[in-house]
Structure 1
Amino acid sequence: MSSIKIRKYQEEDAEVVKEIFTMGMSEHVPSSFMHVLKQPLFQMALMVMVCTLLMSSKSFLLPILAATLVLAATRQLVTYMFNSYIDACLKKDLSNIGETYLKQKDSCFWVAESDGRLVGTVACLPNENAPECLELKRLSVSHSHRGMGIAKALCRTVAEFTQERGYLAVMLFTSVVQTDAQKLYERLGFVKIREFVAPEPFAKVMNFTLLEYRLDLQRD
């Protein structure tokens, strides 16, 4: 098994960190598209459109073409939503990781190395709405190195950092389509405390739910 080393972020890691983040987020496009297709409102609207066109045109071809176009457009919208989120993150905290996470109080950014290759990331900073918590962010592991306990080790690094600084808990947000992440957090003792639909207009239409998790830490 490859040796895994977790260390603090360095400026020369910037491009690889951005690449790992971008690839990790892009992987959720197919599952998010399937999530949309399973929504009753979407299915009903698609069925009404197909039936209406079938009755009015007396042809199977037009409804099939229309349904195909709707599905293609929906896939493009899902892709656009994720690309917009990725771009926003790359322009915000990931544009200057050192300034955002290393120079601020009670914040940090770590990377995981396997045989000298950067394969994972995680960060934390104080949560604005829960002053007793640090928020875990930017957890991502390269697809080729999953199943090796790297994500678990990164989460524990954040938990230890949080406890050392006297905070009561670690919190994080994930999405309904990130089922593997949900299982990981729950195995580590995180408890889901809230579900809510993302505020973006298209996210509301597709019922894209965000989940908030919290891990309470033992006090010394």
Structure 2
Amino acid sequence: MANIQIRKYKDEDAEAVKEVFTLGMSEHVPSSFMHLLKQPPTQMVLMCTFCSLMASSKSFLLPVLAVTLLLAAARQSVVYMFNKYIDTSLKKDLNNITETYLKEKDSCFWVAECDGRVVGTMACLPNENTPGCLELKRASVRRSHRRMGIGKALCRTVADFTRDRGYAAVILYTSVVQTDAHKLYECMGYEKIREFPVPEFIAKVTNFTLIEYRLDLHRDRKNN
């Protein structure tokens, strides 16, 4: 990784971190929309709408237009879901990274820097629901700097930080559509623990689920 440096977050990184996060999350809109289209209820609604209008109107244009409008509405729902999550994140922990991640000894926020530019982020803090585990959060790498080992380097940084502080494992949550992230985490030794639905209405309708991964550090030796 020529010219890549993994370092702790500084206050002057704030806008760059927000940009990396926002761009990274926005990239998942197309794959989430395709995920929605693959769901049987979605296909049934589209087919029933088309067939019923075709039979009642005796027109081909009207059902095509209706299905097109339904598809547009579905995509906007996915966009809304992601924009809401982005806005919430920017107003919460990413609004004051120093306060959230750097005040306590068992939490931290790192950036990957390339030629003076922030190109990746990752953080961790104690998980509220799983004692003895740190939670990996805010993992993102600019599209232009992927396939360079940055994600792996950030994952190793979190694992080393977790081990040094005496925690047994690292856990993380990622969405069902983030397939590249799944490959990265599984390559780094993480094991899939469970899959569960997101509680928000739109997510339930679209069958948009989260996956929990866990890295037991005594099994992580081969990746160090």
Q: What TM-score do you get using the length of structure 1 for normalisation?
A: 0.98
Q: Structure 1 residue 135 and structure 2 residue 124: aligned? A: no
Shift of the alpha carbon at 1:31? 0.3
Counterpart residue number, 1:124: 124
Counterpart residue number, 2:168: 168
Give 2:194's aligned amino acid: R
Q: Distance in 2 between matches of 1:79 and 1:119?
A: 24
Counterpart residue number, 2:90: 90
Give 2:185's aligned amino acid: Y
Q: Distance in 1 between matches of 2:141 and 2:52?
A: 46
Divergent runs of 4+, >4 A:
none
Give 2:126's aligned amino acid: P
Q: Distance in 2 between matches of 1:83 and 1:104?
A: 30
Unpaired runs of 5+ residues, structure 2, are: none
Describe the SS at the equivalent of 2:130: coil
Describe the SS at the equivalent of 2:148: coil
Shift of the alpha carbon at 1:32? 0.2
Q: Structure 1 residue 35 and structure 2 residue 24: aligned? A: no
Shift of the alpha carbon at 1:131? 1.0
User: Alpha carbon RMSD of aligned pairs, Å?
Assistant: 1.2
Give 1:159's aligned amino acid: A
CA deviations on 1:112-139 (whole Å, 9 max, x unpaired) are 1112211100000000010110000000
Q: Name the % identity.
A: 73
Shift of the alpha carbon at 1:188? 0.5
Unpaired runs of 5+ residues, structure 1, are: none
User: Where do 1:22-101 residues align within 5 Å?
Assistant: 22-101=22-101
Give 2:66's aligned amino acid: A
* Preserved contact between residue 2 and residue 115 of structure 1 (Cα < 8 Å): no
Q: Structure 1 residue 191 and structure 2 residue 191: aligned? A: yes
Q: Distance in 1 between matches of 2:120 and 2:88?
A: 20
Q: Distance in 2 between matches of 1:46 and 1:218?
A: 50
Describe the SS at the equivalent of 1:104: coil
Aligned residues: 220
Q: Distance in 1 between matches of 2:59 and 2:18?
A: 49
Give 1:148's aligned amino acid: M
Q: Distance in 2 between matches of 1:203 and 1:104?
A: 33
Give 1:24's aligned amino acid: G
Give 1:60's aligned amino acid: F
CA deviations on 1:33-57 (whole Å, 9 max, x unpaired) are 0000000110011101111111110
Give 1:74's aligned amino acid: A
Counterpart residue number, 2:108: 108
Q: Distance in 2 between matches of 1:141 and 1:209?
A: 22
Shift of the alpha carbon at 1:196? 0.6
Moved more, 154-163 or 104-113: 104-113
Give 1:71's aligned amino acid: L
Give 2:98's aligned amino acid: G
Shift of the alpha carbon at 1:107? 0.4
Q: Distance in 1 between matches of 2:38 and 2:8?
A: 41
* Preserved contact between residue 108 and residue 125 of structure 1 (Cα < 8 Å): yes
